[in-house]
Amino acid sequence: ALILGLESSCDETAAALVTSDRRILAHRLAGQEAAHRPYGGVVPEIAARAHVEMLSPLIAAALADAGVTLADVDAVAATAGPGLIGGVMVGLVTGKALAHAAGKPLIAVNHLEGHALSPRLSDPDLEFPYLLLLVSGGHCQLLLVEGVARYRRLATTIDDAAGEAFDKTAKVLGLGFPGGPAVEVAAALGHAIVPLPRPLKGSPEPHFSFAGLKSAVVRAHDAKTWAVEDIAASFQAAVVDCLIDRTVRALGQAGKVTALVVAGGVAANTAVRTALSGLASAHGLRFVAPPLWLCTDNAAMIGWAGAERFAAGLTDPLDVAARPRWPLDPGAEAVRGAGV
Ligand code: ATP
Ligand code: MG
Ligand code: FE
């Protein structure tokens, strides 16, 4: 099957054409960094307006790149949440209009399912069940991925997401926006010599916490005794430590899995990938991480999640609602803070 995927939940507008045999016929993406940079973060109104302007031309370009028309597409998959509601609406309404006009089914994709299944797009050998560390701008979770639409959340953050911690740290250190790549570059020039906490490391509860680490970065920066690069390196080392500690704990709870997998924007970080790869081999597990461009937001992962859902017979009515909040595991208990 050939799926048109659309993504617009945050500050990337994207369209892609993906087949169920894992061919990415086209993927187009427009970032909005320059528009948001003056504000030091994503401004929802600016994002929504940019999605309106960019999405249609990107879809046209992707169809042209792939050498297909809407009539060749078997289904339209659009992100329906979670995310900034204005942007989600733009992509979902566009997807509905195209599906209706072409007489094709609509697939309302959970953006997190896009991240969660993206490793199966890049790695044809990745089978269920796998343990997934989903680390992105809005989420930090350990999920047992049992199948398409079958997720069991083992842990989440009780305050900030991992990517959010990178972004806030970049802001404090004056490294700019977007923060994750900037912190990684600075960290490569520094040494992890600044004492910083590892919140919840070794805790019997399964969850993550990064708010205290960010506060400690603020104090270290205010002390004016450390180089920015050394704080960045120390911060990154602390995040990696926490991610590994919590993942080790989850491996003990997950039962038998085929692989340790990482996805989401923070999975583009080399220190994170290297540490997880080491952990996997220590446990005799395969390690799977998508290529960097597939870790951060894109429409290929939405098209692929659409392809997986389409194969499972999961399509949606044209009146399906956009959902600003939409947990992958609806059965998971609420925890303190914002984590879902
Ligand atoms: P969510 O997927 O939770 O809805 P999002 O879509 O905004 O949030 P992603 O696009 O998946 O998030 O990831 C963006 C996040 O990844 C940002 O917080 C960014 O700083 C972080 N990130 C990107 N590259 C790197 C990197 N090299 N190192 C660390 N963090 C990174
Ligand atoms: Mg982004
Ligand atoms: Fe994302």
Reported ipTM: 0.99
Residue found under tokens 């993504």:
7
Q: Is the dihedral of CA 281, 285, 291, 292 positive or negative?
A: negative
CB 163 within 8 A of CB 265: yes
* pLDDT tens track for 22-80: 999 999 999 999 999 999 889 999 999 999 999 999 999 999 999 999 999 999 999 99
CB 301 within 8 A of CB 269: no
Q: Where are the beta strands (DSSP E) in 148-247?
A: 150-155
pLDDT at 42 (0 to 100): 93
* pLDDT tens track for 6-26: 999 999 999 999 999 999 999
Nearest CA owner, ligand 1 atom 12: 137
pLDDT at 40 (0 to 100): 86
Please, what is the average pLDDT of the chain? 97
245 carries a ligand binding annotation? no
User: Mean pLDDT, to the nearest integer, of 238-254?
Assistant: 98
* Nearest atom in ligand 1 to 82's CA: 4
> Which of 112, 221, 235 shows the shortest CA–CA distance to 162?
235
User: Mean pLDDT, to the nearest integer, of 229-234?
Assistant: 99
pLDDT at 340 (0 to 100): 47
How many CB atoms are closer than 10 A to CB 17? 26
Q: Is the dihedral of CA 24, 138, 47, 322 positive or negative?
A: positive
pLDDT(339) > 50: no
* pLDDT tens track for 178-224: 899 999 999 999 999 999 999 999 999 999 999 999 999 999 999 99
The amino acid that residue 126 corresponds to is L
Task: Answer yes or no: pTM beyond 0.90.
Answer: yes
Cα separation, 10 vs 42, whole angstroms: 8
The amino acid that residue 158 corresponds to is I
CA 29 – ligand 2 centroid, Å: 11
137 carries a ligand binding annotation? yes
207 carries a ligand binding annotation? no
CA 318 – ligand 2 centroid, Å: 27
pLDDT(289) > 50: yes
51 carries a ligand binding annotation? no
Cα separation, 270 vs 287, whole angstroms: 14
193 SS3 class: coil
Q: In what order do the strands lie in the sheet with 259-263?
A: 150-155, 140-147, 130-135, 259-263, 286-288
pLDDT at 178 (0 to 100): 84
* pLDDT tens track for 126-184: 999 999 999 999 999 999 999 999 999 999 999 999 999 999 999 999 998 889 999 99
Q: Is 67 left (phi over 0), alpha (psi -120 to 50) or beta?
A: left
CA 83 – ligand 2 centroid, Å: 11
Return the best residue to mutate from 84, 266, 293, 302 for the ligand 1 pocket (most ligand atoms within 8 A of CB): 266
5 carries a ligand binding annotation? no
Return the best residue to mutate from 166, 213, 293, 323 for the ligand 1 pocket (most ligand atoms within 8 A of CB): 166
CA 90 – ligand 3 centroid, Å: 16
pLDDT(337) > 80: no
297 carries a ligand binding annotation? yes
pLDDT at 177 (0 to 100): 85
Largest CA-CA distance found in the chain, in angstroms, rounded: 64
Q: Which residues pair with 6 in a beta bridge?
A: 15, 78
Going by the DSSP 8-state scheme, the letter that residue 333 receives in this structure is P
Strand 150-155 to 130-135 pairing:
unpaired
Strand 75-81 to 2-7 pairing:
parallel
CA 33 – ligand 3 centroid, Å: 15
Residue found under tokens 């989903």:
134
Q: Which residues line ligand 1 (CB under 6 A)?
A: 9-10, 83, 111, 115, 136-139, 163-164, 166-167, 178-181, 184, 264-266, 268-269, 296-297
User: Mean pLDDT, to the nearest integer, of 276-303?
Assistant: 98
Strand 130-135 to 140-147 pairing:
antiparallel
